[in-house]
């Protein structure tokens, strides 16, 4: 059973405690060496295609994921500093075969779709591409601390995740023996509830990312969910996104090819974004 599906609190906490060391800052620093190699490969793919016209963003990301799938098929590197090996070994102790759903996470639609959302919003609001390019300036593109300090880069990522939530309907939660009252609504005991994410107005109405003056309560935006079941990979995911975007923005210009307007990811269609699997055609040009 996948970690997030473990509804028994004590089972979940025990398994999550086992996972925690795999997401410690030291462990993440170690994976980053590998992540940066994959970003380098993605960049090479983009550069090749930039020379030959339109690029479907997913096609390049899929290529990277195929490389990861192939590596997983060979079996994870048998050392405890390898994320997949560590988790599979820990889950074996819990009698769980983590292989199938771990593959789902590592090749997760979450971060690739979050990145597609950022690129989509940037193409609709290209003035932010220029602003990000200026903000990046001489920043070292592999310095995670420096990238984490860039306010516009982080605001753009957050705003794109708000407009295109990975889980538009929120995660599933079950009430305990007493039920729960939220504002004036009582949810009875032992009831499964799905919490709707904040429905965001389309970016054409908000003027695109980011609009700090529109933020009334920053805590209302929780793209990685909250509490004991929140995303354990969120710091890794944010770092991967910052590295990838910094590289792409620094090196390329990108826009929709003629006849494409991005409407596939807007309006009502955006509500189905989680399962969005269509092409995201963008033209990439070397700066």
Tell me which residues touch ligand HEM (CB under 6 A).
Answer: 3-4, 16, 105, 108, 110-111, 114, 166-167, 171, 223-225, 229-233, 236-237
CB of 225 to ligand HEM, least distance (A): 4
**For residues 276 and 264, what is the distance between their CA atoms, to the nearest angstrom?**
9
Cβ closer to ligand HEM: 31 or 255? 31
CB of 102 to ligand HEM, least distance (A): 9
Cβ closer to ligand HEM: 24 or 285? 24
Question: How many whole angstroms from its chain centre is CA 125?
Answer: 20
CB of 229 to ligand HEM, least distance (A): 4
Q: Which pairing describes strands 281-286 and 252-255: parallel, antiparallel, or unpaired?
A: antiparallel
HEC per residue, the chain: CCHHHCCCHHHHHHHHHHHHHHHCHHHHHHHHHHHHHHHHHHHHHHHHHHCCCEEEHHHHHHHHHHHHHHHHHHCCCCCCCCHHHHHHHHHHHCCCCCHHHHHHHHCCHHHHHHHHHHHHHHHHCCHHHHHHHHHHCCCCCCCHHHHHCCHHHHHHHHHHHHHCCCCCCCCEEECCCCCEEECCEEECCCCEEECCCCCCCCHHHHCCCCCHHHCCCHHHCCCCCCHHHCCCCHHHHHHHHHHHHHHHHHHEEEECCCCCCCHHHCHHHHCCHHHCCCCCEEEEEEC
How far CA 181 is from CA of 60, 131, 226, in Å, comes to 46, 44, 18
CB of 249 to ligand HEM, least distance (A): 18
CB of 61 to ligand HEM, least distance (A): 13
Cβ closer to ligand HEM: 50 or 87? 87
Cβ closer to ligand HEM: 116 or 129? 116
Cβ closer to ligand HEM: 76 or 233? 233
Cβ closer to ligand HEM: 16 or 251? 16
The pair of structure tokens assigned to 241 is: 């996104």
CB of 35 to ligand HEM, least distance (A): 10
Cβ closer to ligand HEM: 229 or 284? 229
CB of 71 to ligand HEM, least distance (A): 14
């Amino acid at each position: 059973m996948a970690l997030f599906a473990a509804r028994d609190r004590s089972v979940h906490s025990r398994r999550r405690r086992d996972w925690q060391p795999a997401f410690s800052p030291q462990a993440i620093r170690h994976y980053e060496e590998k992540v940066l190699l994959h970003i380098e490969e993605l960049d090479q793919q983009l550069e090749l295609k930039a020379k030959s016209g339109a690029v479907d963003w997913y096609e390049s990301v899929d290529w990277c994921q195929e490389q990861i799938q192939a590596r997983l098929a060979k079996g994870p590197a048998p050392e405890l500093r390898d994320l997949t090996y560590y988790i599979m070994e820990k889950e074996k102790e819990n009698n769980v075969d983590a292989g199938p759903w771990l593959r789902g996470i590592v090749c997760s639609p979450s971060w690739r779709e979050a990145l597609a959302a950022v690129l989509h919003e940037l193409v609709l609001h290209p003035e932010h591409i220029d602003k990000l390019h200026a903000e990046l300036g001489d920043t070292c593109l592999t310095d995670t601390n420096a990238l984490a300090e860039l306010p516009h880069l982080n605001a753009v990522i957050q705003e794109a995740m708000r407009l295109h939530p990975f889980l538009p309907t929120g995660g599933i939660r079950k009430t305990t023996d007493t039920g729960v009252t939220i504002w004036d609504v009582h949810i009875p005991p032992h009831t499964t509830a799905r919490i709707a994410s904040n429905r965001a107005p389309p970016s054409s109405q908000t003027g695109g990312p980011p609009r700090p003056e529109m933020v009334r309560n920053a805590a209302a935006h929780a793209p990685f969910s909250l509490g004991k079941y929140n995303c354990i990979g969120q710091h890794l995911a944010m770092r991967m996104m910052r590295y990838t975007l910094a590289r792409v923005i620094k090196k390329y210009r990108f826009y929709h090819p003629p006849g494409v307007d991005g409407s596939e990811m807007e309006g009502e269609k955006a509500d189905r974004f989680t399962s969005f699997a269509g092409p995201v055609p963008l033209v990439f040009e070397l700066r």
